[in-house]
Chains A and B, each alone.
Chain A
Amino acid sequence: MMITALANPKRFLDLSRTVSPWTCALAVILLGIGFYWSLFATPPDYQQGQSVKIMFVHVPAAWMGIFIYSMMAGASLVGLVFRHPLADVAAKSAAPLGAAFTALALLTGSLWGRPMWGTYWQWGDARLVSELILLFIYLGYIALWNAIDDPVRAAKAAAVLALVGAADVPVIHFSVDWWNTLHQPASILRLGGPTIDKAFLVPLLIMIVGYTFLFLWLLLLRMQTEILERRARSLMMARGA
């Protein structure tokens, strides 16, 4: 019901304009608390020292990379099956955000790797390697959107690609993981570690929820922009005709 009602861009714009300030406020508050708590109020790790605090930026970013891709695939399915116009807009607007979060995860992951592993990049960490591939998939998706001029056609092509990717990403992750355990020395320290103390877990969860609201805010903003852009384009074409 909710989804069909939102197919009307006007209704969506009205709703998102009332919702987006709240998501922005929640993101600022949660990230403010989360950053203070995780950076200043948690003790340094007995093994990793202060470097452990990179985790609070890294783990939520890595999580967002996967979460946003799943959301994009879901939106693509809705767009492809129900011809829902806003689902396409949502998928298109989410992709650069997902790519940015994934890039942030890679960057922080390798910064963490320098003191921990002694190198910026470690092919032995399956999660980082599969995130790198995920970033490439995001880039291909964005490139495909930009390369096709007709927005309807671009939306369909991108949606098919997102669904193919959704089927493939778990397989890629599995293959990288398998490859690691077989042919590479297992890394002693993995980002996030096997078990997390409660003192770290609570601020980490706050950061994750904060990141999610930041994403929602940016997504709504990008979707509004995209809708207005399309409106401006059709107005221009109407005037030209």
Chain B
Amino acid sequence: MKAFVALLTRDIRLAFRAGGGASLAAAFFALVSSLVPFGVGADLVLLGRIAGGILWVSAALAALLSLDRLFQADFEDGSLDVLALSPLNLEAASAAKILAHWITTGLPLVLLSPVLGLLLNLPTRAYGALIASLAIGTPALSGVGAIGAALTLSVRRGGLILALIVLPLITPALIFGASAVLDAMEDTGRGAFLFLAAFSVAAVALSPFASAAGVRLNVGG
């Protein structure tokens, strides 16, 4: 547990001190969502209706953007080999890294989302659902993303392949997340939110094992 916390704080510190990790993903998230109105037009009614979807797609892209650093930097400077040899097993190490990734990218998106909702004319009654769905759904993005990041460790310029691998796998989170916001707008129940929670729990529970397998095959001999 001590090692887990140590690794977690190390990763968070690294993200904040080197390269402005948290603000970068948040800025990207804000930028993508503010570009959409330029693409679809300034119709506030339309924007209000699709705001949940826009923010969810932007969140998925923002989470994806920072994934390549999840294991890559440690892989390149050899820290990952040390981690693989340390008493902390790789599954727990992956879980710590996933949690650190969520705290530095997922959490800022959750906090920033109401402001962007305002820009996109999201109806007032949907703010709770927007924040709750992003809070509960973004860990799944970090989890599934970590699997992709671990598998593409030895790929040079693996960013595009990472996207190709991860994006199809997270469609359920996108569908349920955007639908949860829509449900709150139209008052059509909580089904989407519950399904999103279920998907997120399963993804977070299983992803440390799959990403540890990915790391293991890349650091071992």
Contact = CB atoms under 8 A, between A and B. Distances in A.
A143 B147 contact: no
Contacts of A182: 179, 188, 191-192
A140 B168 contact: yes
A66 interface: no
A147 B158 contact: yes
A137 interface: yes
Contacts, number: 84
B171 A160 contact: no
A133 B168 contact: yes
Contacts of B214: 157, 160
B164 interface: yes
Given A137-B168, A178-B195, A143 B161 contact: yes
A100 B191 CA distance: 35
Nearest to A176: B175
Given A147-B158, A160-B213, A167-B206, A136 B164 contact: yes
Contact of A161 (B165, B171, B191, B199): B165
Given A160-B213, A164-B210, A179-B179, A171 B172 contact: yes
A148 B191 CA distance: 41
A54 to B, nearest CB: 26
A175 B164 contact: no
A27 B171 CA distance: 36
A153 B171 contact: no
Contact of A164 (B147, B155, B161, B218): B147
B206 A175 contact: no
B168 A148 contact: no
Contacts of B144: 164
A144 interface: yes
Interface residues of A, number: 31
B172 A172 contact: yes
B195 A175 contact: yes
Contacts of A172: 168-169, 171-172
Contact of B199 (A148, A163, A164, A171): A171
Interface in A164-194: 164-165, 167-168, 171-172, 174-176, 178-179, 182-183
B151 A136 contact: no
A144 B168 contact: no
B201 interface: no
A221 B195 CA distance: 43
Contact of B179 (A133, A144, A183): A183
A161 B151 contact: yes
A127 interface: no
A222 interface: no
Interface in B146-187: 147, 151-152, 154-155, 158, 161, 164-165, 167-169, 171-172, 175-176, 179, 182
B171 A148 contact: no
A148 B199 CA distance: 30
A139 interface: yes
A164 B206 CA distance: 9
Nearest to B147: A164
Contacts of A148: 154-155
Interface string A36-73: 00000000000000000000000000000000000000
Interface in A138-165: 139-141, 143-144, 147-150, 153, 156-157, 160-161, 163-165
B179 A176 contact: no
Contacts of A164: 144, 147, 169, 210
A165 B202 CA distance: 14
17 contacts: A139-B164, A144-B152, A149-B154, A153-B218, A157-B214, A160-B151, A160-B210, A160-B214, A164-B144, A164-B210, A172-B172, A174-B172, A175-B175, A175-B195, A175-B199, A176-B175, A178-B191
The 10 A-B pairs of least Cβ separation, nearest first, read A175-B172, A136-B168, A140-B165, A156-B217, A140-B164, A147-B155, A175-B175, A157-B151, A179-B175, A137-B168
Given A148-B155, A157-B214, A182-B179, 7 more contacts: A139-B164, A147-B158, A160-B210, A161-B165, A163-B210, A165-B169, A172-B169
Interface of A: 133, 136-137, 139-141, 143-144, 147-150, 153, 156-157, 160-161, 163-165, 167-168, 171-172, 174-176, 178-179, 182-183
